[in-house]
């Protein structure tokens, strides 16, 4: 019994220490998710008013297609250029007007059954972003395609008007260089980069001090 009691004492001391420390731990401030700084602009994308058109050249003809936007929200600090958030495209929505070609695109190139989203996560803007009116800026961030991340800088024309905004961007995606399968055949040779034309619209808010 004495041996058992000697072994039990350290356990009792540990339990007592935990009971004393628990109220202190509960009282400590919790780390909340970072919030946009006061004065930051919050851009929310309206998928119904937005579009993504793409063009892929080849040795025989040029293919045109579309993707649908799923969602998007960006937070921009005009004073520093610091940017966060993401714009998400539904990879499974890609269409080119030819069912056979689209099946091959989704199954062999995009593998959209596994990688259902194409995402752009911006981290910084350069150029002056006007809080109202037109702006020409560059947005740098990470482009997630086929499960891999790639740095990308996108030129953007933006218009802010009241509590609404619109933006347009034209840029190339070097999908073969980024590791996607080359869909070329012995008869048909395709370009290694797809041209993208993105049009976004949505609502605008200014973050106020908490």
Spell out the per-residue pLDDT of the chain, length 210, in tens. 444 455 555 544 544 444 444 444 445 444 444 555 668 999 999 999 999 999 999 998 999 999 999 999 999 999 999 999 999 999 999 999 999 999 999 999 999 999 999 999 999 999 999 999 999 999 999 999 999 999 999 999 999 999 999 999 999 999 999 999 999 988 889 999 999 999 999 999 997 755
Say if residues 123 and 100 touch (Cβ distance below 8 Å).
Answer: no
Say if residues 97 and 62 touch (Cβ distance below 8 Å).
Answer: no
Tokens 């619109």 -> residue? 166
- Helix, strand, coil percent content, the chain, rounded in steps of 5: 20, 50, 30
Say if residues 162 and 151 touch (Cβ distance below 8 Å).
Answer: no
Q: What are the helix (H) ranges across the chain?
A: 2-27, 99-104
How do the domains of the chain map onto residue ranges? 41-206
Distance in angstroms (rounded) separating the CA atoms of residues 49 and 89: 14
pTM of the model: 0.80
Indicate if the alpha-carbon torsion angle 114, 118, 119, 120 is positive or negative: positive
Indicate if the alpha-carbon torsion angle 110, 111, 112, 117 is positive or negative: negative
Q: What is the CATH number of domain 41-206?
A: 2.40.128.110
């Amino acid at each position: 019994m004495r041996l058992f009691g000697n072994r039990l004492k350290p356990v009792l001391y540990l339990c007592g220490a935990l009971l004393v420390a628990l109220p202190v731990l509960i009282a400590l401030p919790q780390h909340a998710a970072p919030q946009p700084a006061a004065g930051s602009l919050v851009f929310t994308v309206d998928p119904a008013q937005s579009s993504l058109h793409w063009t892929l050249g080849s040795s025989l003809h040029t293919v045109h297609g579309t993707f649908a936007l799923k969602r998007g929200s960006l937070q921009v600090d005009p004073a520093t250029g610091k940017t966060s958030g993401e714009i998400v495209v539904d990879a499974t929505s890609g269409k080119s007007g030819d069912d056979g070609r689209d099946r091959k695109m989704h199954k062999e190139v995009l593998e959209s059954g596994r990688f259902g989203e194409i995402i752009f996560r911006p981290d910084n803007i350069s150029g002056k972003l006007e809080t109202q009116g037109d702006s020409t800026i560059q947005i740098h961030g990470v482009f997630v395609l086929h499960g891999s991340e790639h740095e990308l800088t996108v030129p953007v024309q933006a218009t802010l008007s009241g509590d609404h905004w619109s933006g347009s961007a034209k840029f190339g995606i070097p999908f073969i260089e980024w590791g996607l399968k080359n869909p070329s055949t012995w008869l048909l040779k395709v370009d290694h980069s797809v041209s993208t034309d993105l049009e976004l619209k949505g609502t605008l808010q200014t973050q106020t001090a908490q």
